[in-house]
């Protein structure tokens, strides 16, 4: 579990908080999306992302570490077989928190926490202006060489044309 927080815990004590976060993570993996308070979601995010990182490894040791947190084998199986392959290319940021407003009874800030399962599209790297100048210079160099070759051929053509004219004069 990530670094413990100082101050008041969610629920009664540290054991209750750990169990509550495990249950929230199990619900998140089962339903792919849960509605909870903002404080719980912010505390759940590092726990859930760490469990998903273990699931991406996929080995027996990782499975046992996830089972130590979440006791339900069906949820762990779903995490390893369904969720982990969908986020295999993603390097982090497996969860998304969207604010919904405030709860009617106690005015607690409510959020929708969901797994980000959309396929990852690789970003196209933008070249810096210095790198962009190099290809332009490279393109200009062959043009100059081509112009130089054309000039050499043009110079050679009149000399060749002059040779037959001299031959005609010699007759």
Q: For residue 115, what are the β-bridge partners? A: 95
Domain-wise residue ranges, the chain = 14-115
pLDDT confidence of residue 157: 55
127-146 mean pLDDT:
58
- Answer whether residue 57 shows pLDDT above 70: yes
Assign 163 a pLDDT band (cuts: 50, 70, 90): low
Q: List b or e across 45-81, with b for residues whose CB sees 16 or more CB atoms inside 10 angstroms.
A: bebbbbbbbbbbeeeeebbeebeebbeeeebbebbbe
- pLDDT average, residue stretch 149-153: 57
- The answer on pLDDT for 129 being more than 60 is yes
Please determine, for residue 37, whether its predicted confidence score (pLDDT) is greater than 70.
yes
Q: What was the pLDDT predicted at 109?
A: 95
pLDDT at 100: 95
Considering the four listed CATH numbers 3.90.110.10, 3.10.20.80, 3.90.1030.10, 3.30.70.420, the one that applies to the domain covering 14-115 is 3.90.1030.10
Percent of the chain's residues with pLDDT above 70: 70
- Decide if pLDDT at 159 tops 70: no
């Amino acid at each position: 579990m990530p670094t413990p927080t100082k101050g008041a815990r969610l629920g009664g004590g540290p054991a209750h908080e750990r169990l509550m976060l495990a249950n929230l993570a199990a619900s998140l993996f089962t339903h792919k999306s849960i509605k909870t308070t903002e404080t719980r979601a912010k505390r759940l995010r590092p726990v859930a992302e760490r469990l998903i990182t273990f699931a991406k490894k996929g080995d027996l040791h990782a499975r046992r570490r996830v089972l130590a947190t979440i006791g339900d084998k069906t949820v762990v199986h779903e995490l390893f077989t369904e969720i982990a392959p969908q986020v295999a290319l993603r390097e982090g940021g497996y969860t998304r928190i969207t604010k919904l407003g405030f709860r009617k009874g106690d005015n607690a800030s409510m959020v929708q926490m969901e797994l980000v399962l959309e396929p990852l599209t690789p970003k196209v790297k933008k070249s810096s202006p210095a790198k962009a100048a190099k290809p332009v210079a490279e393109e200009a160099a062959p043009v100059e060489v081509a112009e130089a070759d054309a000039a050499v051929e043009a110079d050679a053509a009149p000399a060749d044309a002059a040779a037959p004219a001299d031959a005609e004069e010699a007759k």
